[in-house]
Structure 1
Amino acid sequence: MRTVPTTPHGEAARNVERIRELFPGCVVETTAPDGTVTAAVDLDLLRRELGERAVDGPRERYHLDWPGKSAAAAAANAPTARTLSPSRADSVDFDGTRNLFIEGDNLDALKLLQEGCLGRVGLIYIDPPYNTGSDRFVYADRFAETSERFRERTGDLFTNSATDGRFHSTWLSMIYQRLRLSRTLLRPDGVMLISINDVEQANLRRLCDEVFGAANFVCQFVWLNDGNVDQQSAIKGVHEYVLAYARDLARLPRPVVIDPNIGDGSKLYNERIENSITKNGPANPPSTVELPAGFPAAFDAGGIDARTDRFPHILDPVVVRDGRLVAPVRVHSGWSSRNLLELFIRNGCTPITDARGRETWFDLTASGAVYSYKRRAGDQGHVLSVLRNLGTTKQNSRMLAGWGIEFSYPKPVHLIEYLVRVFTRPGGDDLVLDYFAGSATTAHAVFRANEADGGNRRFILVQYPEPAGTGTIADVARTRIRKCGPEVLASRTRHPGWRGDIGFRSLRVAPVPLADVTVRPGTVRQADLAALATTVRPDSDVEDLLFHVLVRHGVDLSTAVHREADDTFVVPDADLVACFAAEVTEDMVTALAARRPGRVVFREAGFRSDTVRLNTDRVFARLSPGTDVSVV
């Protein structure tokens, strides 16, 4: 029987395992500072594997650097000593929803999501502090001290003044850690979207090139915030940016959304696409194609004389009867789709399928041009790099005010809804993450996107409880979700495919619910033994313990949990049973083993006697040898 670890593996440990997969000989055993034996990377062996491709020391190279970058990377890689604790009172439909709202430091939250959400997030959208010179950064990232010491010293609010020598460096360190952790959460076809202004967009672009790879850059959208025109500056700034990077651009599916500014009369909405394939130029040198007898014509009957005065040259007289060529005709021109045309001819002049799966056919028009026709796919997409007429911050502030919510500069819900629909699958169940949640615009946008196309996307929002009015910004976000959900659900245009999940399971970043019972030999008195008998903190309940176990076992925190008698919890999707009964008997152990779960967890102090604890391994070895048995 093993003990569930208090802290999860950090990103550094996962990176060691990734290197082991590529270069197993470079991972060796060594002694950690605490005396334990651990796996580590032998850099000398790794340099030998990489040969001349390894760069270190003063050798010149192109990269973005700043004071504190190494410390920021180390902080991102380090494990967190925090966990996630449930708050039913702050939730909506706690047991039925698949949405999550996490209150607390987003760096801790991103680390705690690494196991359960690794490689599973379809879209991450963030609207981080823009570093205007007066932004208050709410994060505990001072690298030479603990989070607790930082909070004591600054009260959590750190102003990154433009007069500070670390003006750019501080902001870059803050965002760098979070982007590193974001990338590992994305699915192979996932996308990262970041709102930013002019001050840091150049640095952010280079930083994202490093984290995601320059080859995975998708687009730098320009968002026209047309309502923002009352600044007293020489040039009115009415735009911001949204940077888009893919986890793997080769796997990014083509968007199937049409820019809402495209009018109903656009040919994009036509049932078929038609174009002349006559195309002359250096890239399309003229060549001759023979159209066989029976080739389709766009007219029922008639003829075209041979000609060479304009393209396409018609080298043989054209005779059409019943909409088909009577005899073969040679035509000479440059062609934009010659390969498809010849495939159509070889297919007996019947429709073929192009590389995108669209039905394609050709005919000869009365002017002598050859036209191609494609049946437009139902998932037609047309996304522009300029985002306009998608709402303004002022409009959305007024909308929030109608719900009694005061919040400055909220992102327009129409803008975020459009981006969600562009970069997630229509009708799908993509997971959308926003760890600078603010007023919860992203949750509202997910609801609206699901209502529009019948998807069942779900969200994870993270927000630090920064003071705001009489409460916190986290309170503001939860209030908005409670207000906007029923409104979207009541829409007359609601798509029947949406299951209507407008709830959220509220969690908070919290201390681990386990007491520190580690002691050094010779320091324990007889009177101390009773206090060391339990490993659970007195201010924690069984649900706190359960969610700590879910986090450490990498279980999806939105998964269904069934509570049974004797504080036993069953998590079907994770094949896990957690038994936190105050007195676990051997009969209870036998009954649990008979279920043959994949994993079972007990509370260390919950066994009725030492005998029951010792016999638990034997019972499972006999009745369910495949079960992983552990204690907290």
Structure 2
Amino acid sequence: MLKKILENNEHIKSNTRTLNILKEYFPDCFTKDEEFDIERFKNKIASDVNKVDYGYELNFLGKNYANLIASQETTTVIEPDIKHNQKKENKNSNNIYISGDNLDAIKHLLNSYSKKIKCIYIDPPYNTNNDDFVYNDSFNFSKEELMNKLDISEEKAEKLMSFLSRKSSSHSAWLTFMYPRLLLSRDLLTDDGVIFISIDDNEQANLKLLCDSIFGEENMLYQLTVVNSLNGNDNSSGMMETHEYCIFYAKNKALIKMGELSEDDDNMNKWNVDDIGYWKEGRGLKATGEESAKENRETMFFPIYINEKNLTISIDKKEGYTYELYPMTDNKEMRWTWSKENFRENYYDVIVKKNQNGYTLYKKQRPSLKEILSVKGKTIFYKPHYSTGTSTQEIKQIFNGIKLFNYTKSKYLIKDLLLLANIDKNDIVLDFFGGTATTAHAVMYLNNIDNGCLQYIIVQLPENIDDKKKLKSQTKQKQLDDIINFLDSESVKRPHTLDQIGIERIIRVARNITNEYIDKGFKHFTLKTINDDMLDKIKEFNINNNNINVENNIEEEFGIETILTTWINQDGYGLTANYSKINFGEYEAYYVHNESLGGNLYLINKDIDETFIEKLIDKIKNNEKFNIKLIVIFGYNFTYSEMQMIEKNISQLKNSGLNLNIAIDKRY
């Protein structure tokens, strides 16, 4: 499971990721010894290319190191929150909340969500005196390893080690922290995807240059000036600060169609709101014009029963629904525009209006996102609802009057950024600095408007609040005490970590949405770190040794569900894929399948026998729906001879004339 990752990480250098990209697209520029022929590469691209002899770039202490850690694979595993994920509202949800370090989370997401995220919004630490930023990524390299992997001198290696180990908050430290996260997140974006990054003056200039180097200067769309405090915040510098920035980049600017914002509040008053969302009166449900008579479609001539007290309808005659309405015009039998089934399924979208002759039925016109978009965004980005005061009041309303944080983003701001991204109903939005889960709230808010299926992925580091409290001033300790007391309250009872605030907010917001047609749940996962002792044992484990026992292995530490979740995501099926258990005699295996990838069979449990092999072969041969492309074996639980038995039988099956293409992957 991790042995191959550890072995690969041993050989990774700061330029490994770049070389791998070049190998993918220019394999002919590498020799058989995998050496890069730069002259051949130059010749290959020489024609019709504008060359820059004197360019510029952003350099900072830690840049090569940031490239190195971006190239390394994560050694964390993904632990599902089984109790939470099995709840009715969550078990079929496509929304995701990850508790863990966002660099590890992005690396996991790349396995299944590469080129699938339409929009990323992040609100990273601003590196001011208020947000307590220090560079705190794990550091596990010796001086000699740094010299080798980064190709630097002993003096530079010592300087870098000092810089990385002292928990710096310098500009270089902030850039070293941000660089790998932004570099990898670009690969998550769809070709027409965009990223928004909130920032203030302290790191705005550096962030602009950093994004230019990652996304390309030509792919910058706008730098929005976001007015979030019209009255201004006094920073004791002599002026009142009324704004911050939001930098807006595309993965490929040529593919971007800029979205527009929703109508102003005055125009939105034209729309009514019910439990489903916005609506206004649409067309009548009695057919008019050509082919509107009963004889044109007799199945659409039937009575509608009206409850005259609450003006609701029913297809069936029942208590309270006493008024019988047929589609009639001047005593002529007409027809409805909806079938009986349509009336039955969409009864909540029927408007009943009384007239002098009885009643008329109209359809509720629901807006798609596109229907209520009419205003182009401005680079001075301002609406009253964007203010931190608005978001603070909303946080207090959600969390029983408690002001948990001083500065949070408004859901209305993020909602409008998502509209600028020209999102579609089924797109995925990612926020890997999740905070109080405002992005999740904004996604649910948009879905509630148009019954959309917009999905979110939120990542938040589970910082220990008790530990943070020890380092704070007396004023901030009081605020953290309020958070701890809230988490300890009878109706909450959650651990003292910051990710729990976002989780609780999503649950509370969802509870107050009455629309039953949107996804209000989410699946929760926690990234778990493997301790150094176990990692050392994994490195030392001899896969050729006919021995099934590894002391304190991953299964014993984290359980089968964690292994399965990590592998299923690693193999491209995502974090919300469902797997099934299949019994082959007494042996239980796990199967996951989708149309594009086919099926994977995971063998994790111990003690297979010949009965297992017989039943597996029989199922492969005789069940067309059992479409296996890969058999994954948890090597620690199998002897060498057991794995040979599986390989031998699958090989014989493939050579038997059946059109099979089944691979076997042994993981440790």
Q: Normalized against structure 1, the TM-score is what?
A: 0.68
Aligned-residue offset at 1:452: 1.0
1:590-609 aligned at under 5 Å gives the runs 590-593=614-617, 594=620, 595-607=626-638
1:123 maps onto 2:122 in alignment? no
Match for 2:124: what amino acid? P
Work out which of the residue numbers 183, 198, 201 in structure 2 matches 1:198.
201
Work out which of the residue numbers 206, 231, 239 in structure 2 matches 1:235.
239
Aligned-residue offset at 1:97: 1.7
Match for 1:186: what amino acid? L
Any unmatched runs of 5+ in structure 2? 143-161, 271-369, 466-479, 485-495, 621-625, 655-659
Match for 2:445: what amino acid? R
Work out which of the residue numbers 603, 614, 629 in structure 1 matches 2:644.
614
Q: Which residue in 1 is equivalent to 2:447?
A: 450
Work out which of the residue numbers 404, 408, 411 in structure 1 matches 2:409.
411
1:388-403 aligned at under 5 Å gives the runs 388-402=383-397, 403=399
Distance 1:421 1:25 in 2: 43
Is residue 535–residue 604 contact of structure 1 (8 Å, CA) maintained in 2?
no
The structure-2 alpha-carbon separation of the partners of 1:257 and 1:407, relative to structure 1 and needing over 3 Å to count, comes to same
Aligned-residue offset at 1:192: 0.4
Aligned-residue offset at 1:23: 2.7
> Secondary structure at 2:31's aligned position in 1?
strand
Is residue 229–residue 241 contact of structure 2 (8 Å, CA) maintained in 1?
no
1:628 maps onto 2:663 in alignment? yes
What's the CA shift string for 1:433-486, capped at 9, x where partnerless?
A: 111000111111111111112221111111111123431111111111111112
What's the CA shift string for 1:349-376, capped at 9, x where partnerless?
A: xxxxxxxxxxxxxxxxxxxxxxxxxxxx
Q: Which residue in 2 is equivalent to 1:423?
A: 421
Q: Which residue in 2 is equivalent to 1:245?
A: 249
Is residue 138–residue 464 contact of structure 1 (8 Å, CA) maintained in 2?
no
The structure-2 alpha-carbon separation of the partners of 1:191 and 1:157, relative to structure 1 and needing over 3 Å to count, comes to farther
1:383 maps onto 2:376 in alignment? yes
Match for 1:245: what amino acid? Y
Aligned-residue offset at 1:6: 3.7
The structure-2 alpha-carbon separation of the partners of 1:6 and 1:130, relative to structure 1 and needing over 3 Å to count, comes to same
> Secondary structure at 2:519's aligned position in 1?
coil
Is residue 121–residue 185 contact of structure 1 (8 Å, CA) maintained in 2?
yes
Aligned-residue offset at 1:181: 0.7
What's the CA shift string for 1:146-202, capped at 9, x where partnerless?
A: 8xxxxxx99999462xxxxxx222112211221111111100010100001122212
Is residue 567–residue 581 contact of structure 1 (8 Å, CA) maintained in 2?
yes
Q: Which residue in 1 is equivalent to 2:499?
A: 474
1:217 maps onto 2:226 in alignment? no
Work out which of the residue numbers 117, 126, 131 in structure 2 matches 1:135.
131
Bigger shift: residues 127-136 or 440-449: 127-136
Distance 1:3 1:616 in 2: 22
Q: Which residue in 1 is equivalent to 2:63?
A: 69
The structure-2 alpha-carbon separation of the partners of 1:116 and 1:24, relative to structure 1 and needing over 3 Å to count, comes to same
Distance 2:164 2:57 in 1: 35
> Secondary structure at 2:521's aligned position in 1?
coil
Q: Which residue in 1 is equivalent to 2:529?
A: 510
Bigger shift: residues 580-589 or 239-248: 580-589
1:571 maps onto 2:592 in alignment? yes
Is residue 66–residue 176 contact of structure 2 (8 Å, CA) maintained in 1?
yes
Aligned-residue offset at 1:626: 1.0
Distance 2:434 2:423 in 1: 22
1:262-277 aligned at under 5 Å gives the runs 263=267
Is residue 432–residue 457 contact of structure 1 (8 Å, CA) maintained in 2?
yes
1:582 maps onto 2:606 in alignment? yes
Match for 1:101: what amino acid? Y
The structure-2 alpha-carbon separation of the partners of 1:417 and 1:504, relative to structure 1 and needing over 3 Å to count, comes to farther
> Secondary structure at 1:557's aligned position in 2?
coil
Work out which of the residue numbers 22, 36, 40 in structure 2 matches 1:41.
36
What's the CA shift string for 1:384-420, capped at 9, x where partnerless?
A: 2223223322332333233246223111111112222
1:541-560 aligned at under 5 Å gives the runs 541-560=559-578
Is residue 77–residue 562 contact of structure 2 (8 Å, CA) maintained in 1?
no
Structure with greater proportional helix content = 2
Distance 1:258 1:158 in 2: 44
Match for 1:107: what amino acid? L
Q: Which residue in 2 is equivalent to 1:432?
A: 429
Match for 1:260: what amino acid? D
How many matched pairs? Answer: 486
Distance 2:174 2:263 in 1: 33
> Secondary structure at 2:59's aligned position in 1?
coil
Aligned-residue offset at 1:622: 3.8
1:105 maps onto 2:129 in alignment? no
Distance 1:142 1:228 in 2: 41
Is residue 112–residue 572 contact of structure 2 (8 Å, CA) maintained in 1?
yes
Aligned-residue offset at 1:535: 5.6
Is residue 192–residue 245 contact of structure 1 (8 Å, CA) maintained in 2?
yes
Alignment RMSD (CA, Å)? 3.6
What's the CA shift string for 1:21-61, capped at 9, x where partnerless?
A: 4432222344xxxxxxxx453445434545697989xx742
The structure-2 alpha-carbon separation of the partners of 1:556 and 1:204, relative to structure 1 and needing over 3 Å to count, comes to same
Aligned-residue offset at 1:116: 1.1
Match for 1:430: what amino acid? D
Is residue 91–residue 523 contact of structure 2 (8 Å, CA) maintained in 1?
no
Aligned-residue offset at 1:509: 4.1
Bigger shift: residues 443-452 or 200-209: 200-209
Distance 2:607 2:548 in 1: 17
Q: Which residue in 1 is equivalent to 2:438?
A: 441
Match for 1:618: what amino acid? K
Distance 1:432 1:511 in 2: 29
Q: Which residue in 2 is equivalent to 1:182?
A: 185
Is residue 135–residue 174 contact of structure 2 (8 Å, CA) maintained in 1?
no
Q: Normalized against structure 2, the TM-score is what?
A: 0.65
The structure-2 alpha-carbon separation of the partners of 1:157 and 1:451, relative to structure 1 and needing over 3 Å to count, comes to farther
Work out which of the residue numbers 16, 19, 31 in structure 2 matches 1:16.
19
Aligned-residue offset at 1:133: 3.8
Q: Which residue in 1 is equivalent to 2:295?
A: none
Distance 1:45 1:466 in 2: 49
